[in-house]
Amino acid sequence: MSNIVAIVGRPNVGKSTLFNRLIQRREAIVDAVSGVTRDRHYGKTDWNGREFSLIDTGGYVVGSDDIFEQEIDKQVELAIDEADAILFVVDVETGVTGMDEDVAQLLRQTDKPVLVAVNKVDNGQREADAVEFYSLGLGEYYSISGINGSGTGELLDALVEVLPEKEEVEDVELPRFAVVGRPNAGKSSFINALIGEDRYIVTDIAGTTRDSNDTRYNRFGFEFNLVDTAGIRRKAKVKEDLEFYSVMRSVRAIEHSDVCLLLIDATRGFEGQDQNIFWLAERNRKGIVILVNKWDLVEKDTGTVKEFEKSIRKIIEPFTDVPVIFISALTKQRIFKAIETAVEVYQNRSKRISTSKLNEVMLPIIEQTPPPANKGKYIKIKFCTQLPTPMPQFAFFANLPQYIKDPYRRFVENKLREHFGFHGVPIDVFFRKK
């Protein structure tokens, strides 16, 4: 399980610049995956072999500075509550401000590790100016420059030192299905409808992980853990409507699940926050089932379902091969269909295709529609295989892999879906030198 690190601080101190710099370290190493990251405030990175998730809180507050003053306390409280460590970013140009002092006061009350990053230190004079940040009472500070990257190495060394070791709490390797979605989409009602007076339940394991309630559940002869993000220790102080709040909660649940059941409220549609959570699951390469809840409240005519589904698929392009099920937690309409579909998606995600079968199906297709020639060079793909990873990833070996473009990658992905059925599961296709 990876740790969560939150980047906090007042506006314009360079939180996002630092966030982007820290995330890029990781992206330079892994195979470049196509598609822009739609939500730029969350990312995974690693340093010295320790992997962790970074959340840039700055991305979740819009509005003027005075609105921000009300919101920033909520955010810092949330970060203290949910993150394993906190990076507090301040700006050497302006020195210590009143707002910095407010944040520091909140941070002094936590026993979680807090690292102060003094940003924009790019010369000796500013190095000397940074000394005043000792007055925040948070101990040692780290001088960095988010723009050119100086000092970030020392900051990361110190960060991974203080990250708590995550103990693996997996007694049984059961598939984990996480129920995620924005506040008030009906996550609790959905879980209660499933579990309610249900005699299929084996045990209730509350607090296996400190932050979600796992319920072991057995149905259709299939046993799995249901991870409920709705029931995670609610903080009275935190306002429910904070977008950052659902994202923080979802990050943990998604990272430690196999399939995400994304609940959306039919009366509100597939909104920005739902989309953020969807992309979060997609980027973590989890199976996804979209559940449109409260369908009993929607005025319907013959084309309503089709229209609604079409609008969702338009938004989630290019990854549209995702089941969309219309349910009502209240009337229990189709809730078991939802679980049955999640089980199918789980099986798709762990599907293995033998190398011989894969080559037998894919090579003739590729031969018939080869990648377009580049600069007069013909690209030949000779062999393909599924990689031994927990999610479906395929390597295709070619003489000139660097010339194969994204549209062709998508073509290959679509053919894999068509012939082997990976409904609900993101697929990675890599082209490698043979």
State the binding site for GTP. 9-16, 56-60, 119-122, 181-188, 228-232, 293-296
Distance CA 369, CA 387 (A): 23
Alpha helices in 256-390 (DSSP H): 272-283, 304-315, 335-349, 355-368
- Residue list for the binding site: 9-16, 56-60, 119-122, 181-188, 228-232, 293-296
Residue 67 token pair? 């609105």
292 touches 341 (CB < 8 A): no
Distance CA 5, CA 79 (A): 8
Tell me whether the omega of the peptide bond preceding residue 318 falls within 30 degrees of 0, making it cis.
yes
78 touches 103 (CB < 8 A): no
Return the C-alpha torsion angle 276, 308, 422, 209, nearest 10.
Answer: 40
- Containing 413, the helix (H) or strand (E) segment is helix 406-420
Place of tokens 């409920």: 228
**Of 247, 221, 207, the residue nearest 347 (C-alpha):** 221
